[in-house]
Amino acid sequence: MMSASQILPGIVKKRLTGNQRKKYRSNQASMLGITGSELLFLRRAKIEQWQIEKSSFIYAKLESRRRIAKQVNIHKSKSEVPEVNKYNVFEESSTGLEVHTDERGTIADVFFGTNINHVAIIVSRAGAIRGNHYHLETIQSILITKGTLEYWYATLDNPTASKMVIAKVGDVVTSGNSEIHTMRMLEDTEFIAFTQGKRGGSDYESDTYRVSSLLD
């Protein structure tokens, strides 16, 4: 049977005996001006230092990955559930809309400088559920004129992270692109829907994509 040195000539080194290793170490120590025991101690210390540095590097790398993952999760949590655009036409707000009141009553701006393509009046009984869909090219705003409703909303990429606001008389709630929305009437409710984009007439369902209710 051929030996390892015959199979792999020039690659496999002959294994040193204990005495040979001791002699080799002693020669190296003499060249450095130290004893063999001191050289062995230095080698072990160097190996331990290398192991410490390796562990520190691995720990730092893991910590860096954790920080990055945490930052990504924080960013995702903020972007996945944005605050809905909601204001009340009878209250002062940062929208720039005006409210004028005198002894005759009140005139309140609902929109200003907005291109509205379609307007509809929607009447619902208490407990009715509407919505359960989203739009890709359409922006829809509703103005509550009677009653109260729950407005549930979520992003398309994470429908399980939904939020809800209560909309009462005078509130305007706007559904942005790719926002899933579901409305539950808490009492007999009426609202006016204003649409920028495809929603009325023959376009009623052309940009409407049905999904499971956010209440499920």
Q: Tell me which long-range contacts 23-26 makes (C-beta under 8 A, separation of at least 24).
A: none
C-alpha Rg value of the chain to the nearest Å: 37
pLDDT score at 81: 63
Rounding to the nearest 10 degrees, give the CA dihedral for residues 189, 195, 198, 199.
20
pLDDT in tens, 159-182: 888 899 999 999 999 988 889 999
Task: Report the percentage of the chain scoring pLDDT > 90.
Answer: 38
CA pair distance 161, 150, nearest whole angstrom: 16
CATH architecture of 85-210: Sandwich (2.60)
Residue 89 has pLDDT above 60, yes or no: yes
Residues in the chain: 216
7-13: average pLDDT:
50
What are the phi and psi torsion angles at 135 (to 5°)?
Answer: -125, 145
7-28: average pLDDT:
66
What are the phi and psi torsion angles at 27 (to 5°)?
Answer: -65, -40
pLDDT in tens, 123-164: 999 999 999 999 988 999 999 999 999 999 998 888 888 899
Identify which of 215, 214, 127, 129 has the alpha carbon closest to the alpha carbon of residue 179: 214
**107 vs 34, residue with greater confidence:** 107
**77 vs 103, residue with greater confidence:** 103
36-62: average pLDDT:
75
Instruction: Map out the domains of the chain as residue ranges.
Output: 12-78, 85-210
pLDDT score at 164: 93
What are the phi and psi torsion angles at 42 (to 5°)?
Answer: -65, -40
Task: Report the percentage of the chain scoring pLDDT > 70.
Answer: 80
pLDDT score at 74: 47
Q: What angle do CA 127, 136, 118 make, to 5 degrees?
A: 70
The band of 46, judged by pLDDT with boundaries at 50, 70 and 90, is confident
75-79: average pLDDT:
48
Strand partners, 195: 118, 140
Residue 188 has pLDDT above 70, yes or no: yes
CA pair distance 187, 93, nearest whole angstrom: 27
191-202: average pLDDT:
84
Supply the angle between the helices 18-32 and 36-80 in degrees, to the nearest 10. 90
pLDDT score at 124: 97
Q: How many C-beta neighbours within 10 Å does residue 191 have?
A: 26
Identify which of 212, 85, 82 has the alpha carbon closest to the alpha carbon of residue 155: 82
pLDDT score at 33: 82
**201 vs 100, residue with greater confidence:** 100
Strand 171-175 versus strand 139-146 pairing type = antiparallel
